[in-house]
Structure 1
Amino acid sequence: MTDGDIVHDKLSWRYQRPYKALCEGKDSPDECAWVVMGAMIRDIKKKGAAPILLAQQMGERLKAAIENCNPHSFTRSWAAAVSKELDRLAAGQTSCPYYEKQLVLRASKGILHDFRYGRRMDTCSLEEVVLDRYFQEVYRFYFEERIPLTPDHYAGIDTATLMKRVKALEPELLPAFGKWAKQTQVNPYDVAKLRRPPRQKIEEIDLEENLL
């Protein structure tokens, strides 16, 4: 596919290549995930450090709210009050692009929901947890959630089969998001230095080799 070819009009040009590869089904999940990460890194670098700084601030605010409250007091009204504080924090960050601000909020409120219902108890490195969840939200918003938004997929593949292939990318993507979170937690401006993990080498088969 040449640069500029659009085969899914709900995806940005950065995500056309991995989408097309998933539809064709010729590449391994490792290879497709590697290409998706490349598209994400370009997106993340373009947005700069502002979303990373906001995610860190959200993590700090969540940590303070949770540690200053008895777990038995994680009521609906408590969660609503914390949620409003997160909204106010986001509203004050005018340097953060709108959609990225919403994704940081979605990540933070998802973690708040986890604490509210006892799915998470540890507040250690909560800023890093928010960053990790933010990268997951970037992936979902710009790629995964947009794939079903077209009735006819490239190469005639059906949505159910395609989404199974998309799901198969997670074992490669999620560890990378965790590494990006660790890196940017140490220095938010390291967003410009984010890298993909080494590409998986495809071993060539010697046709004369006895494989039995």
Structure 2
Amino acid sequence: MHLPKPTRRRVLGRLAWPLAAAALAGCAGFPGAPTRYRISAAQLEESLRERVPLRHSMGGIVEVTARVDGLRMLPEREQVAAQVKFESSGPLLPQSFHGSFDLLFGLRWEPSDHSLRAHQLELRSLRLPMVVGRSAQLLEAALTAVSRQLIGDVVLHRLSPREVQRLRGWGLRPDTIDVTPDGLELGFAPLA
């Protein structure tokens, strides 16, 4: 059966809107396309522990060895806190010292290599038992440098080439980073 042209246009016009709506709905999410990608606190901690112990020297004056002792997720601040233990010694210190500090950091997505990175470091809660005066100042300066080496712009997680290819196939890219009590969640948005 062959419809006359005006009738054909009406039929096609009536079909166009539902087809367009279905196409737009399909762009919002393919079946099986993820909306979130979870990275556990244990995975983050493991990637930080791979970088340590870290040794830092301030011109031979103060030597510091640091290691990550644990992570805490801070969802209310959208930050992560690393508990870091350290040992220090050097000719300007009257003795070897042990202590700990918390290192808070934010997160950012680096699209060039599909990685999640730490940034905006903040040294907090420096615990230096029995350290006062000039020794405390030297140690604080050394620990600030160590914290930048330890976590500064470090890759915490990288999507595999296969994961990147899947996301592109679905027309998605990482968009948001949310800190949860159990780890991190990447949210996705359509490719621009």
When normalised by structure 1's length, the TM-score is 0.25
Higher helix share: 1
Q: Which has the higher contact order (CA 8 A, sep 6+)?
A: 1
When normalised by structure 2's length, the TM-score is 0.26
Give the number of the structure whose alpha-carbon radius of gyration is greater: 2
